[in-house]
Amino acid sequence: MKHRIIIVTLITVFALTSLQAQTKQGHFIIGGASSIEVSQTKGGFSTAPSESKVTTISIKPEVGYFLFDNFSVGLSANLLGYTSGSVSGDASLLSEFKYFFQGTNYRPFVKANMGYRYKNLRDIFSMVMYVNEAHGLAFGGGVGGAFFVRENLSIDLELQYLYSNLKQIGGPYYDFYTDTKKEYVAKANEIKIFVGFSLYL
C-alpha cells in the first residue's frame, strides 16, 4: 500500500513539474483563437450621434515569451468579420501580459492588454457612399484557463473585456449635402469569449 502511495505521489509530482516547465522563464508561447463578440457602441457624427449593436466573429493569433516564471509578454492581432451592423472592417494590435497560476492539467490565468485599434465604417447618405476610417487607443483585460491535453499543448478558454476610444482619421470633413462638418467618434465597451489553443516551446 505504501509503495502505491509513493508511486502515485511521484507520478503526480512529475506531471505537475512537466506542466510547470512549459511556463518557465525563457519559453515561448504561440497560439490562435476565435471568438463570438456582442458589442454596443455609442457614437457617430458630432451632428447625428447613434447607437449600434453588432455580432462579430474574430480570429486572434498570439505570440509571447515568458519573461519570468509563469509570466509572459507578447503581442496579439485581432481580425474581425461582421455578421451584422454597418462596420465593414476592424483590426487591432495589442500587447499581451499574461500570468499563469499553479495547476496540473488546468492552469488558470489573468491578462492585461493595451494597443492600437482600427475601424472602417461605411454609411450611406443620399445614395452617396462615404468610407470613414477611425482609430485610437484600446485597453482591457481578461481571465481564462489553459486545459493541457499534452505537456506542450493546451486548449484555452478566455473571457476578455476591451475598451476603445476612436476618432476619425484625418479629422472632420465638410458635408455639402447638409452644409455641416462631420466627424466620426466612438467609445466602445466589448466583452469577448475566445476559444483556441496554445503551443509551448
89-146 per-position pLDDT tens digit: 788 999 999 999 988 789 999 999 999 998 876 543 333 445 567 899 999 999 999 9
Q: What pLDDT, on the 0 to 100 scale, is given for residue 45?
A: 59
Pairwise CA distance, residues 112 & 31, whole Å = 16
Tally Cβ neighbours within 10 Å of residue 189: 13
Answer yes or no: is pLDDT of 83 > 80.
no
Q: 0.75 exceeded by the pTM?
A: no
Query: Do residues 29 and 72 make contact, with C-beta atoms less than 8 angstroms apart?
Result: yes
Backbone φ and ψ for 4, nearest 5 degrees, come out as: -65, -40
- Mean of the pLDDT values across residues 146-158? 92
Q: Rounded to 10 degrees, what is the CA torsion of 24, 28, 32, 37?
A: 60
Segment of 56-60, 157-161, 164-168 carrying the highest mean pLDDT:
157-161
Answer yes or no: is pLDDT of 14 > 80.
no
- How far is C-alpha 117 from the geometric centre of its chain's CA atoms? 11
Please enumerate in sequence order all residues whose Cβ is within 8 A of that of 58, keeping only pairs 6 or more positions apart, or say none: 34, 35, 37, 78, 79, 80, 81, 192
Pairwise CA distance, residues 62 & 175, whole Å = 41
Confidence category of residue 193, pLDDT binned at 50, 70, 90: confident
Q: What is the DSSP letter of 47?
A: T
Confidence category of residue 29, pLDDT binned at 50, 70, 90: very high
Assign 178 to helix, strand or coil.
coil
Residue 72 or 35, more confident: 72
CA distances from 99 to 83, 136, 152 (A): 33, 26, 17
Answer yes or no: is pLDDT of 37 > 90.
no
Query: Do residues 192 and 80 make contact, with C-beta atoms less than 8 angstroms apart?
Result: no
What is the H or E stretch that residue 46 is in?
A: none
